Amino acid sequence: MKFKLFPKDEKFFALFRYAFLISGLALLPWLSASPGGGGPRGFWTPQDPPKARYVIDAHIDAANGNLEGKGIIIFRNAARSSIDTVAVNWSTGPASSLSVSVSGEPLAPLNQDNAATLPSPLFYRLPEALRAGRTIKLEIAFKTQVAFPPAKAPHTSSSFFPSLNWDGLTVHDSYSVKLDIPPGLTVAATGRLDPKTGRYEAPAARSFGVFLGKGMKKESREVEGVLITTVATEKGARAAAICLETADDVIRFARAWLGFYPFSYLTIIPGGDGRWGGYPVATGMVAIHGQETYKDGESPLWWKWITAHEIGHQYWGEWVLDADDPAWLWIAMGITLDTEYLTRRGIDPERRAKWMGNYLNGVRSGYDMTVDIPPAQVEKIPYDHNNTVIHSKCPSIVFALDSLLGRPAFEKIYKRCLTEHGGRGLGWRDFERVCERETGQSLAWFFDQWVRSNAYLFYKIAATDSRPESPGFRSFVTVRRLGTMRMPIPVKALFEDGSEEIKVTERGLDTNVLVFISKARLKEAVLDPEKKLAMLDEPVPPN
């Protein structure tokens, strides 16, 4: 039997459906007004900030120290909620200005407090909210004063023009930049110069760097699709030549090992006066300090090391972005690359030991070497935290992980992070999860000890014994834990006939007795034969 609603019931349900539809439509603007579907509108940052396209034309008046330019910034809102306010990295004042407009409609900065100077960042309310999936084009015109060469030589900047600010989170933007430079100045910039348009093109870059100098020498060469350029003074040209040769070799090595180089360009510029190392100025641009200190006949080791080191940070820091503060993973993983290059090439076989040795010196000095601490605590640390912890303990963590997981698994993880996280942030907890997915094992015990504590490794061979047992020998190696950290420790047994065998201790035991069966008598036992573990060889003195 077929049932039919009474007419009055049909009318009731029709009215109910209509009311429900109208109320839902009324709620939509409110739900999309801000993240999470409610609350006041205002500036907010998407979990994955939008990637922007910058098309910039800049003119430099070196004589008067003026920089001015115009351009557009295009981005798409890929988030689920509308964006109605953007932040721009720029400040305004007597010598600096910025205008922002959308479709010719000027926008006024929200931070108008009648001050002569407005600090960066500046906040702008869009004419209408940028809904999910929509694209917007910001038109900008900017001006500022800069001490250009020769008033101040050289000039290096990674904030040459205004850029979007997403609470400091970085992404890979694309850039097309034309620099109108007066004669007599040497220029270098992120990207590759298109000779037809005169524009520097960088399709995926964390930041855009500009270098201006006077009386500089430029040398370039193409290496497997990567344009390497060095810029140097006459006095620093010999050091720069070593850097160029080394960059050539490092890029070939890295491409063979990892399968790719992340950018089609690399520019090496002069940094400060002393041999302080170097730093990544911007994507594809690194500064190397102290080039003019080069002496004829000196070992090239320093220049080879620092060049390899900075190239490591193009993979880690510029290609894979760091998501932590203090940011340490990108430094540790970049150091892993330069260590791999220097040791495999036989340039500096002790490079790994040098990194670990500096960390162990900090342990012996009684420093708190905990890595994962709040930034405010870092500021209170009385010792060189950047050198001792970030640049020494942190790579020791990666070396220890290599020892724990074994080279095949470690290389898979290293390459997987480069493949999957290009242009994305990778924090140490993300890295832990990648390691756990690859190996199928929980590694919380490892990262908690190395990253979140001041524990240290100290194991020692307490005794060895080798007894005849047909048809050969049964040998015993006793290993004791004397430090505060627990790790599986590889132990190599070497026998009198030249044979050898490696076994690994159980991390849960304070005392391990490893048994080896061999044809010949035990000659020697060695802890950590690959020398990948930063391990003390004597007790830490009490504070």
Is residue 108 packed enough to be buried (19+ CB in 10 Å), middle (13-18) or exposed (0-12)?
A: exposed
Q: What is the rounded end-to-end Cα distance, in angstroms, of the chain? A: 91
* pLDDT, mean over the chain: 92
Residue 456, pLDDT > 70, answer: yes
Residue 293, pLDDT > 90, answer: yes
Residues 287, 188 contacting (CB under 8 angstroms): no
Phi-psi region of 263 (alpha: psi -120 to 50; beta: other; left: phi over 0): beta
pLDDT on residue 146: 87
Token digits of residue 419: 């493949």
Mean pLDDT for the stretch of residues 47-65: 94
Mean pLDDT for the stretch of residues 300-305: 98
Contacts 24+ apart (CB under 8 A), 503-511: 505/459, 505/479, 507/445, 509/481, 510/480, 510/481, 511/462, 511/478, 511/479, 511/480, 511/481
% of residues, the chain, pLDDT over 70: 91
Q: Which residues pair with 304 in a beta bridge?
A: none
Domain boundaries, the chain: 7-37, 43-212, 216-308, 316-441, 459-527
Tell me the pLDDT tens digit for each residue of 337-359. Answer: 999 999 999 999 999 999 999 99
Residues 139, 61 contacting (CB under 8 angstroms): no
Reported as a pLDDT band with limits 50, 70 and 90, residue 15 is: very low
- Exposure of 453 in the CB half-sphere (CA atoms within 13 A): 13
The enclosing H or E element of 193 equals: strand 192-194
Q: Which CATH number fits domain 216-308: 3.40.980.10, 1.10.390.10, 3.30.470.20, 3.30.420.10?
A: 1.10.390.10
Mean pLDDT for the stretch of residues 357-385: 95
Tell me the pLDDT tens digit for each residue of 129-184. Answer: 999 999 999 999 999 998 877 766 789 999 999 999 999 999 999 999 999 999 98
- Alpha-carbon distance of 209 to 72, in angstroms, equals 18
- Alpha-carbon distance of 526 to 459, in angstroms, equals 11
Residue 4, pLDDT > 80, answer: no
Same fold, 43-212 and 216-308: no
- Alpha-carbon distance of 411 to 424, in angstroms, equals 20
Reported as a pLDDT band with limits 50, 70 and 90, residue 114 is: low
Amino acid at 529: P
Question: Which of 23-27, 317-321, 531-535 comes out lowest in average pLDDT?
Answer: 23-27
Of 365, 367, 374, 364, the C-alpha closest to 389 is 367
Tell me the pLDDT tens digit for each residue of 517-530. Answer: 999 999 999 999 99
Mean pLDDT for the stretch of residues 47-73: 95
Mean pLDDT for the stretch of residues 7-18: 46
Mean pLDDT for the stretch of residues 224-247: 98
pLDDT on residue 181: 92
pLDDT on residue 16: 45
How far, in whole angstroms, is CA 462 from its chain's centroid? 42
pLDDT: is 254 or 40 the higher one? 254
Of 177, 189, 181, the C-alpha closest to 283 is 189
- Angle 407-420/329-344 helices, nearest 10 degrees? 130
Q: What is the largest CA-CA distance in the chain?
A: 105
Whole-prediction pTM: 0.90
Residue 457, pLDDT > 90, answer: yes
Amino acid at 292: E
pLDDT on residue 199: 99
Residue showing tokens 């007795």: 513
Residue 24, pLDDT > 50, answer: no
Domain 316-441 in CATH 1.10.390? The answer is: yes
Token digits of residue 191: 């990207």
Reported as a pLDDT band with limits 50, 70 and 90, residue 543 is: low
Q: Under DSSP, is residue 169 helix (H, G, I), strand (E, B) or coil?
A: strand
The enclosing H or E element of 377 equals: helix 375-378
Tell me the pLDDT tens digit for each residue of 322-340. Answer: 999 989 999 999 999 999 9
Of 393, 353, 396, 402, the C-alpha closest to 370 is 393
Question: Which of 93-107, 149-163, 462-476 comes out lowest in average pLDDT?
Answer: 149-163
Give CA separation, 403 vs 90, 350, 362, 411, in Å.
Answer: 46, 17, 22, 11
Of 22, 124, 24, 136, the C-alpha closest to 79 is 136
- Alpha-carbon distance of 89 to 92, in angstroms, equals 10
User: What strands, in cross-sheet order, belong to the sheet with 185-189?
Assistant: 155-157, 210-214, 185-189
Give CA separation, 198 vs 49, 180, 201, 221, in Å.
Answer: 30, 9, 9, 19
CATH number of the domain at 43-212, please? 2.60.40.1730
